[in-house]
Amino acid sequence: MKNIIVRPIEHDDLPEMWAVAFGPSADLKWMELNGPYFNDPVWTWPQFEQRFSEKFVGVPTAAVVCLNDRPIGMLSGYFEDGSLGKWLEAGIVIYDATLWGQGIGTAVFRPWLEHLLTVYPELPHVGFTTWSGNLGMMRLGERSGMQLEGRIRKVRYWQGEYYDSIKYGLLRTEI
């Protein structure tokens, strides 16, 4: 396996993270799979720096994925139910599509799920949501030992076609 490290996001990581995610030479293919139906914008450097500094730098629910000491993606955790804080969801993105299918997600995602359950020891469940157009994320859920918990049929509309919303989850007792 390659030299993959997961660690908390530091402010010094942000320029390289922006460059690989949104910069002029970024491979934006990841945006086509990361909920494209939401029409998220391609952030400018100032937008990215502000949002990531406030939300992701130095928190236990966000991490940068580095390959050979270079940021290539990130892991996250957030509450689907907002301030109630009982419905924990996880996220992963590897920005460079040439790195997909090489086992990086598989290597980092299950440990990330376990980390989130350590950060929130009172919670029995962590999950994630994807869509039927993202076969790689569906495989990652299965490879991470998660259970398919729900399929809401034909609710994600993208490029003239309806897709299913897919929910995966892992119980603390399944670790």
DSSP string covering 29-49? HHHHHS-GGG------HHHHH
> pTM (2 decimals)?
0.95
pLDDT for 124 equals 98
pLDDT for 137 equals 97
Q: Is 160 exposed, middle or buried (0-12, 13-18, 19+ CB in 10 A)?
A: exposed
pLDDT for 1 equals 53
Give the separation between CA 169 and CA 113, rounded to whole angstroms. 10
Residue ranges in the chain whose pLDDT is less than 50: none
pLDDT for 126 equals 98
pLDDT for 62 equals 98
Q: Which residue has the tokens 């034909």?
A: 154
- Name 78's bridge partners: 89
CB proximity list for 151: less than 8 A, separation 6 or greater: 132, 164, 165, 166, 167
Residue 150 corresponds to which tokens in the numbers above?
A: 């729900």
pLDDT for 7 equals 98
| Side-by-side strand order, sheet with 70-79 | 4-8, 62-67, 70-79, 88-94, 125-131, 161-171, 147-158
Q: Whole-number mean pLDDT of the chain?
A: 97
